[in-house]
Structure 1
Amino acid sequence: MIRLLVAEDMHVVRSALVALLGMEDDFEVVAEVGRGDLVLAAAERTLPDVALLDLDMPGRNGIAVAGDLASALPSVRVMILTGVGRPGSVKSALDAGASGFVLKTASARALVDGVRTVASGGQVLDANLAAAAVRLGANPLRPREQELLDLVASGCSVRESAQRLFLSEGTVRNYLSAIVDKLGARGRVDAIRIAQDNGWL
């Protein structure tokens, strides 16, 4: 029996996934959550074999949660589910310890087969996304820069970002200038677009 945890913030999608997976004789959904920051506690409580994580969840995104699970519960295999395939997200997910990256447009059979592959120690990746991820190369942003750009992308001002990151406003401005330079962007808005297009945010 393959024990599964499903993390998806959209209730209808989560319910559909749970129902679909529950139809398989060798699957048992042992936990379902709607926020990324609830995954680790649920996994520690239920010890699933595979965690299916939505890429974009409130509380904590799927890639960050994949890293949490890799550190705290390395026996739990991770599959990332997403509606948008960005090569940078694939690379980030793999770097965080995920074993699978599946688009929500995949067939039910592909998802079920993917879960079995991941549970047995294999990897599941969309071939086109995997090839694009290899061509893309590494994310040039350091974790702190990514965190800052994510705050700015969500609408935080320099002052708010500084307060949340416990930095001075001058340091935040220096970080933002460095980010713009690294990404070859025309400004902050362009830097956000480049980072989002590549799946680095």
Structure 2
Amino acid sequence: MTIRLLIADDQALVRGALAALLVLEPDLEVVAEVGRGDEVVEAVRTAKPDVALLDVEMPGLDGIEAAAALRAVPGVRVLMVTTFGRPGYLRRAMEAGAAGFVVRDTPAAQLADAVRRVHQGLRVVDPSLAAETLVAGTSPLTARESDVLRAARAGGTVADVARELHLSEGTVRNHLSAAIGKTGARTRAEAARIALDNGWL
């Protein structure tokens, strides 16, 4: 039986390389490729793949948000394939409904095997990343603190962040202060970097 695949990655070269590797397997067929997270659901509905391979960082929607959106589409399983093997990403991807999470430099044969196992209904997780995730624990940030840090990453003022998120400036300051404290940072830029490095954003 042929397993139908969708590949979503914002780098055309990476998409093409993944597709070229996977179609060498006699039981795998790439039926769609997209470069944006907000194109994933429509492409899945149109091409009807069995497994969607999603990158984490994409424009429109990130891969984790796209995985969550795919919960509404029956018959497709999600395998995250990404450069960014951050512990928080693994936890968030699994919570969003992904069945597997592997890093992009996984050997081709192992990647093909991961696709098959996800298709069979099994969970597949990069073992070293799983261990890091257990050690790192869950994000200490609330959802709103994460939103505020994400918005603050662009370098805007408190007023800019408040406008973007429809919050008061005082509320933004409170969330930034809490996020700085919880990450052990000295500045909001450092807090955002720590949170990003841990995959909490």
State the TM-score, normalized to the length of structure 1.
0.93
Q: Which amino acid aligns with 2:200?
A: W
Q: Which residue of 2 aligns with 1:195?
A: 195
Q: 1:91 corresponds to which residue? A: 91
Question: What are structure 2's unaligned runs of at least 5 residues?
Answer: none
Alignment of 1:44-193 (within 5 A): 44-70=45-71, 72-193=72-193
Q: Structure 1, residues 68-94: CA drift from partner, whole Å, max 9, x if none?
A: 112x12532111111131111111111
Q: Distance in 2 between matches of 1:30 and 1:157?
A: 45
Residue in 2 aligned with 1:30?
A: 31
- Superposition RMSD in Å: 1.5
Letter in 2 for 1:95: E
Number of the residue aligned with 1:2: 3
Bigger mean CA offset, 149-158 vs 61-70 = 149-158
Name the SS of the counterpart of 1:4 in structure 2.
Answer: strand
Q: Is the 8 A contact 2:99 2:118 kept in 1?
A: yes
Q: Are the equivalent residues in 1 in contact too, given 2:8–2:36 (CA < 8 A)?
A: yes
Q: Secondary structure of 1:171's partner?
A: helix
Q: Equivalents in 2 of 1:154, 1:51: separation in Å?
A: 30
Tell me the SS of whatever aligns to 2:101: strand
- Aligned partners of 1:51, 1:150: CA distance in 2, in Å? 26
**Residue 32 of structure 2 aligns to which amino acid in structure 1?**
A
Q: Where in structure 1 do 4 or more consecutive aligned residues deviate above 3 Å?
A: none
Structure 2 counterpart of 1:24, one-letter code: E
**CA distance in structure 2 between the aligned counterparts of 1:134 and 1:160, rounded to whole angstroms:** 36
Code of the residue aligned with 2:23 in structure 1: it is G
Question: Following TM superposition, by how much is the alpha carbon of 1:60 offset from its aligned partner in structure 2, in angstroms?
Answer: 1.3
Alpha-carbon distance in structure 1 between the residues aligned to 2:131 and 2:56: 19
Unaligned 5+ runs, structure 1: none
Residue 36 of structure 1 deviates from its aligned partner by 0.8
Report what 1:19 is aligned to: 20
| Equivalenced residues, count | 200
Q: How far apart are residue 104 of structure 1 and its match?
A: 1.0
CA contact (8 A) 2:22 2:108 kept: no
TM-score scaled by structure 2?
0.93
Per the TM alignment, residue 25 of structure 1 is displaced from its structure 2 partner at its CA by: 2.0
